[in-house]
Amino acid sequence: MNIIIISCHSLPSSTSSVTIKLSGWGGSPVEQKLLKQVLKDFEAKHPTIKVKYEVISDQYMDVIKTRLIGEAAPDVFYLDALEAPFLMSQNVLEPLDTYIQPEFDLADFEDNLLNSFKYQNHIYGFPKDYSTLGLFYNKKAFSNAGLNSHPTTWDELRRYSQKLTGKLNQYGFGESPELARQVYKIIAYGGKIVDKNGYAAFASEAGLQGLNLVIDQYQKDRTSALKSDVGASSGSDMFGQGKVSMVIEGNWAIPYLQETFPQIDFATAEVPKINNKKGTMVYTVAYVMNKQTKHKKAAWELISYLTGKQGMEKWTGTGFALPTRKSVAEKLGYDKDPLRAALVAGVDYATPLQVGKYPAAIVNNFDNQFISALLGEQPLNQAMLKAQNNANQQIKMME
């Protein structure tokens, strides 16, 4: 993940111009080029504000936190929803409520996304784009297996996987075992990731019920594969290489597959229901303002342009990211786009990836132990209890 930071430094007093620094993480070359063009458009419309764009290509959050402590952070920077609860609680971000003008049209943002950057009745960031998860399936593989529609429930997905395994593709389904991809399965049975005090709570009986779907398909059915099983670098790569017939991926997979594997004829659908409930994940990143910036007005001008209707339309117009404003999504027609409509539909019921103020403890312990259980090294309940206890010990030390 890369972070973009914007910092502001005054130019000599003979001019009223200011330079603000924007920091973020790198992303793809296409993304970098597009952001630079949007920033150029901003500068053309705001001749007294210059933007110095910085890419932090490694250990983004560690760099940002260190700079915030040392009062050397950028004026504006990317903040992932996963990391937002901690920073919002530390009095290092500028609340943006007082800057909002009616023409900014706050109600235009998807609630599910904006709420990820609210803390104690203040808004600390505006989401620049998002992706949900959707089901990607290989149309030729489905046709070869006599399947003429996509699965709408998880039971159907497992049955489809059995029919698809060993046919055109090696496996029916490509699994990504990280917590970031498993939360909605835990929630489907009434489980939760953290309790009201921010402690790990995913090892409940309800949580295990959702995770067992993954274990059973991988160990008993043997119709799913991990990227390491098939020599792939990601779920999208597994699918593109033709190693699996179905994967659950985000919007980022669409341009990647079209550019890297143009021969693959694929379609998308909403994530199949689990326990008769719709569910998916949503990932989003906001622009936030450093509370210490000396150029708050200029920093706000940048944030309001980048997350305003005009800036967002430029940013999301190529389809590599989905707009967080309903009006922009409607104007660009993504709700009717054959490949993106399923992803857009999921935003209303998706679960944002947020797991309390200490996400690293939760995520790292879950990921380490769940993969161990998936590979058959220990029973699932033992693995999840170990992960939960380890996470909570670490959280207590950090509080």
Which neighbouring-strand residues pair with 224?
173
Q: Please, where are the H alpha helices in 83-228?
A: 84-88, 111-114, 139-144, 154-164, 179-188, 205-215
Closest alpha carbon to 352 in 80, 32, 36: 80
324 and 289, same structural domain?
yes
Q: Are 289 and 305 part of one and the same domain? A: yes
**Residues 267 and 149 both lie in one domain:** yes
Structure tokens at 190: 């009434």
With a CB cutoff of 8 Å and minimum separation 6, the contacts of 187 are 210, 279, 351
For the entire predicted model, the pTM comes to 0.93
Same domain, 340 and 360: no
Do 127 and 192 fall into the same domain?
A: no
Strands 118-119, 122-123: pairing kind: antiparallel
User: 174 - beta bridge partners?
Assistant: 225, 247
Task: Check residue 360 and give its pLDDT.
Answer: 96
* CB atoms closer than 10 angstroms to residue 376: 10
Which amino acid makes up residue 102?
A: P
Q: What is the mean pLDDT of each run of 10 residues along the chain (399 residues)?
A: 43 67 88 92 97 94 94 95 97 96 95 96 97 97 96 98 92 98 98 96 97 98 97 97 97 95 97 98 98 96 97 92 95 96 96 96 98 98 98 96
pLDDT computed for residue 211 by the predictor? 98
For residues 344 and 211, membership in a common domain is answered with no
Q: What is residue 1's predicted lDDT score, i.e. its pLDDT? A: 39
Asked whether residue 67 falls in the same domain as residue 157, the answer is no
* 163 and 268 share one domain: yes
How close are the terminal C-alpha atoms of the chain, in Å?
26
Domain that holds residue 253: 132-281+354-398
Sequence-separated (6 or more) residues with CB below 8 Å from residue 278? 270, 271, 346, 349
Residue 3: the pLDDT is 43
Number of separate domains in the chain = 2
Task: Specify the CATH number for the domain of residue 273.
Answer: 3.40.190.10
User: Does 372 share its domain with 344?
Assistant: no
- Residue 377 and residue 250 in one domain: yes
Residue in the block written with tokens 């497992």:
158
Residues 223 and 252 both lie in one domain: yes
Task: Give the per-residue pLDDT at 23.
Answer: 97
Burial of 9 (0-12, 13-18, 19+ CB in 10 A): middle
* Contacting residues for 345 by C-beta, under 8 A, at least 6 apart: 270, 335
| Same structural domain, 388 and 329 | no
What per-residue confidence (pLDDT) applies to 31?
A: 84
Q: Give the pLDDT score at 82.
A: 97
